[in-house]
Amino acid sequence: MNNHITCLYELEVKEGKLEGFRELIKRVVAATRQEPGVLLYEYSISDDGAKAYIVERYRPEALVPHVDIIFAPFAESFLEHVKFTRLLVFGDVTSDLHRRLDPFGAIYVKPYAGFDRFEG
């Protein structure tokens, strides 16, 4: 199969915080775009603005630097705007990644069958 980690985050947008969150997303995405190990990084917002979703795909070695270096400066502001409600993690995850993702209430899902058209 593949050697990627895919994360699907479900977020609840806090009351009155949608526009500020949209602006924050622009900055987070711009910073993340510079990371070569991030293969996919997409935010979506529900029509009513109450929920947001993030789909991320990483080379395994890129997830920890993303969390520790790129995302860390945005974390406090991020949590002022949204609440994490669910995190699904797809792929073979190391114990180090578990330590980073467990605080988000991660649910881990092992690959079974399939393919992707991403590089490598």
The whole-number pLDDT of residue 48 equals: 98
CB atoms within 10 A of CB 21: 21
The whole-number pLDDT of residue 25 equals: 97
| Residue extents of the structural domains in the chain | 5-109
- Residues with Cβ within 8 Å of 108's Cβ and at least 6 positions away in sequence, in order, are 89, 93, 98
**Tens of pLDDT along 70-84?**
999 999 999 999 999
The whole-number pLDDT of residue 104 equals: 86
The whole-number pLDDT of residue 89 equals: 96
Would you list the DSSP string of 91-116? S---HHHHHHHGGGT-EEE---S---
The whole-number pLDDT of residue 119 equals: 66
In the chain (120 residues long), the average pLDDT of successive 10-residue segments reads 87 98 97 93 98 95 87 94 97 88 92 79
The whole-number pLDDT of residue 53 equals: 98
Q: Which fold has domain 5-109?
A: Alpha-Beta Plaits (3.30.70)
